Amino acid sequence: MPPNPKYLTRSKWQRFAKISAGFLGGFLVTISFHVALGAWFSRSYVVITGYFSIFLLWAGLMILAFLSRNGWKLWGIYLLITLLFVAVDYF
C-alpha cells in the first residue's frame, strides 16, 4: 500500500534537515545528556546504564525528528538542548 503523498516531505532540504537532525542532532543531545548526568552521579553508573539508555534516547529523538514538520526548527531545538546540557556539565 503506497503512502499518501500529502504526508510526504516534498522539499529535499527539509528531508535533509530531518534526516541529519535525527541521526546527528539526536546523537549530540543523547551524548551531552549522559555527560551532564556524569557530572551529578558517579561516572561508572552512567557508563553502565548508558549502554541501554543511549540507544533508547537516540532512537526516540530520531523518531521525533521524522514526526516534526520543520527540520530546521528541530535542529535549533536539538542544538539548544545540547548547549544546555554542555553548560550544566561545564559549570
Domain extent listing, the chain:
11-90
**79, 25 in Cβ contact below 8 A?**
yes
Residue from 87, 80, 54, 65 nearest 21 by CA: 65
- Determine the pLDDT at residue 44: 85
Question: Structure pTM?
Answer: 0.84
| pLDDT single digits (tens) 52-78 | 999 999 999 999 998 888 889 999 999
Neighbouring C-beta atoms of residue 24, cutoff 10 Å? 13
Outline where 1-91 has alpha helix (H).
12-20, 26-40, 43-67, 71-90
Q: What's the rounded Cα separation, in Å, for the pair 12 and 60? A: 23
- Determine the pLDDT at residue 59: 95
